[in-house]
Structure 1
């Protein structure tokens, strides 16, 4: 997203999507959230990029018990 300033210069404001670059790969956190939200036992999920890494947060579905981080990683790897 850019805007033209009063002096005619173009100013870069940032991206309009959430796409980030992690270790040279373009990643869309929303796509990861969609996969997590579709997994059994997950009620809600959020993914953020910070300091060159991705961090996912998952809220267990009611009556599902705790969410196992290892099983979530394995499901995302598929």
Structure 2
């Protein structure tokens, strides 16, 4: 195994979801509805408290209406 330098990957993903969601002016509730997950799940993911599965992450990214490449095209993921 290897260690990622800096911030935990769960926090990076959560912060990126929150960043995109806020740009789109979506509430956590509306994102959760679009991604077909519970609102509290979105809260936990955004705060790095949930180890999100690849399938759920894909649903969230699609609900944010961005590609997977766009989602991970952030300075946090380039370190």
> Does the alignment reach a TM-score above 0.5?
no
Structure 1 or 2: more helix by fraction: 2
Structure ID, larger Rg: 1
- TM-score normalized by structure 2? 0.36
Larger RCO: 1 or 2 (CA < 8 Å, sep 6+) = 2
Q: Which has the higher strand share?
A: 1
